[in-house]
Structure 1
């Protein structure tokens, strides 16, 4: 849709949604800009990275060099980046926060992992609700009765989105909505 309306076409689902919301609220398409700009600094090597390295505009990328540095720092063989780390980095890029360091990013990511309620409040995290809903739906043994489970999940999700209830799958949802609406 963003391409169709000549809006920015790069970014996370949350960012793309915000471009569409701006357009629909009356902001001219020429005034809607991508929230994050591509970094132009050359990539840092593992030897150049420290905990004081700025996350934005310093060449810090989530690549093999950073993985090597963090693996050494945390003394793990294979370091894996987390969703929280990526969310914080994208937020810093959107805000052009050149003061955020790698050490602060790691602290904030750890805080988000330990406080899932705070993480759920972030716009980007809300775009993952559908994915989690489907995982939880398929994990429920009660849903095996449906021939087209994904279609039932989508129908249930649509009804849930229009209700004031939390956008989270619970087995009781199967009883709280009209069964015919779920399978059609």
Structure 2
């Protein structure tokens, strides 16, 4: 099995992008090289690739969140343009939807993409998202490669164990290229 290269300054950006590194490894590298550590795994990867390519630190945009002007939420209130999933919002949705409410990713995206609509419409959208989720396979965002890989492994290998899936995942992330499941990854179980 090919050995994944260490993440250090001697690595070129193209090689770096071909391998899988944990977010903790990316943050550690950033700290060592005085690169900002905030943001998603995708943002950290972009910053590190830029640093390895140019030797320079990519400027990051500082985003300041504005405070919501709404103190008590009503179904007829409009969703603010600076929407943040706060405890005030969580309390409102739990009161309206019930204790099973959670800010799952599709609902968070809906809220952020539908400013100006009412909170009543948000409640309807929440139930619709739950219904849609029952009918189809949920899309897993790009930064959750492990989750996607494990789900796809089990879809193709009914009856296999989680240990098998993890062993194949470890093999996959140790080789260059993408980190999506392929039937050929099962060779990791034969070695």
Deviation at 1:142, TM superposition (A): 4.8
Q: Which residue of 2 aligns with 1:96?
A: none
Aligned equivalent of 2:19: none
Q: Does structure 1 retain, via aligned residues, the 8 Å contact 2:168–2:185?
A: no
**1:84 pairs with 2:98:** no
The corresponding residue for 1:4 is 32
Query: Who is 1:95 aligned against?
Result: none
The residue number in structure 2 matching 1:131 is 147
Query: 2:30 aligns to what SS in structure 1?
Result: coil
Cα distance in 2, alignment partners of residues 147 and 71 from structure 1: 37
| Post-superposition offset of 1:126 | 1.0
Distance 2:107 2:55 in 1: 31
- Count of matched residue positions in the alignment of Structure 1 and Structure 2: 153
Instruction: Label 1:114 to 1:22 Cα distance change in 2 as closer, same or farther (>3 A).
Output: farther
Structure 2 residue aligned with 1:33? 60
Q: Which whole-Å CA distance do the structure 2 matches of 1:26 and 1:88 have between them? A: 37
- TM-superposed CA distance for 1:177, in Å, is 4.6
Supply the distance in 1 between the matched residues of 2:71 and 2:78 (Cα, whole angstroms): 14
- RMSD of Structure 2 on Structure 1 (CA): 4.4
Shift, 1:19, TM fit: 1.9
Q: Which has the higher contact order (CA 8 A, sep 6+)?
A: 2
Whole-angstrom distance in 2 between the partners of 1:5 and 1:135: 35
Q: Residues 76 and 32 (structure 1 numbering): CA distance in 2 closer, same or farther, change over 3 Å?
A: same
Contact persistence 2:79–2:111 (CA under 8 A): no
Alignment pair present for 1:67 and 2:90: yes
> TM-score scaled to structure 1, two decimals?
0.56
Contact 1:47 1:69 survives alignment (8 Å):
yes
Q: CA deviation at 1:178?
A: 7.0
> 38, 58, 71: which one pairs with 1:45?
71
Q: Go from structure 1 to structure 2 and tell me whether the alpha carbon gap of 1:147 and 1:40 turns closer, same or farther (over 3 Å shift).
A: closer
Distance in 2 (CA, whole Å) between partners of 1:23 and 1:11 is 16
Query: Displaced runs of 4+ in structure 1, greater than 6 A?
Result: 107-111
Contact 1:54 1:101 in 2 (8 A): yes
Distance (Å, rounded) in 1 between the aligned partners of 2:47 and 2:125: 26
The corresponding residue for 1:101 is 115
Q: CA deviation at 1:14?
A: 1.9
Per the normalisation by structure 2, the TM-score is: 0.54
Tell me, which stretches of 5 or more residues in structure 2 are unaligned?
A: 1-28
| CA deviation after TM superposition for structure 1 residue 128, in Å | 1.2
